[in-house]
Chain A
């Protein structure tokens, strides 16, 4: 029971703390980030600059590379196939956005409590779960000019047959329609979760003030869905710009190259069966990157603003 007090003379000052201990709070987040940063650098950032470099080469990917300066870009400048792809890319961007209002519409439709609503929700969500390749195949059969359902249905109205995927006038729209099917489901699920967070009191208040239908939707519900809309916008834009698998499966870029987009054209000249032009493909990739950069900048800017506003 002897509580012996430590004499002053024997007091030991705490040891000098290590460098890590002193800077723990500043350093630890970076330590945790290192693997992520490393992978992001190796797989995203460095390849971007590599693409810039490759786009100045004439290289078949196997043999000796030759520096040709900006010759690849000069060739792009009057390459008809490039402009077709660029035009299709913009058509994709514009029409793919239809998935957002369509998704909102279906979400509003499904946002009610009826017996079995979960089943309906899953059914509407289903197309997003299946692979794009399967979607492409299914729509390929659907559009088949001789045996497909689409033309049989047109026949009921005395129309058609229309060879959707074999006609350069319709082919891009036909593929976008196929792409909208899963994309709409994706936007729908985003809005369904968003709708859960809509404040019922505000709805009640709006109702007392006499807001109805479209006005209610536009001035009360949609503003509260802004975070969901933002995400839907981001994923749809990205989806439109990387629309590759559907084109590859449904038309292989045809007929005579009229359904190509930049990402597919890049693949074709650089990596496909007849592609041996890494430099030219990289030049296409750089153009695609610059287009994406516009959107990426906008996204980052608006996210930054949001953070700042808090």
Chain B
């Protein structure tokens, strides 16, 4: 590997890291503003113009708080929990193609850290180990509420992973590839995958809500029953890491939904605009469009949180196992029938 490539990849990694951090930081501000808007309040408006410095103030506050390690907890695992949550949240962004390769001096510059040919499986693998941060933290706290929150989180995540995986299987059947880059490229100025997979998209979206522990699926940190859920014993920046990981997860899952189902960096009339604006300009514009889609989905996440009440735990399990799982299997069968429609028609005619 040449050192140029290494530096380039390092730069991309830094970009993904910075983008996740900044978007997550301002998602906290966005969440409070949107909550305020939906509840007919003003929201944060003291720190800086329109309260724009509020996330920084919150961050400083988090760092300044007293660090507490419960006496009866297992110290190593107690610290490992939030670190793991944060690490797993940040590793998913690697396979997302942020823009079409931009040509400079006839050399393509890919806006993706790594185009592995099993991109979706990678995302799925990282999501599936995401539960460890919560479980380890909840158990290491040595607190009943935290343990209950951790157990809820783990069973919820396992249940919804299945439906999520099966909805992705249907998507892979239509696209014929597991590479996120290729899936996005296939939707180039054509019909996005949402048209072929409306049911799959709905299942994926609901499961994404459940996997990120957002309302109405935020049972693991259900205040009215479990104090603070799995992070009851946490204070200072360790708590901040848990809360921050949730926002990063939200950002990344929005990015993945936009890439898989809504065409990623593609946008309508891109090819027509290439003649007017030039190829590279359109690609930069596509980058902007991807972020517009991502912000749209983040808004949806927040909108739902401040609109719908929380599920009861048995309702959550019933929805996962008795509604979403059969629906996603039905979706696979329907997709299979659709893909084999010509052969089936031949069979019927004969």
Are these two chains actual partners, yes or no? Answer: no
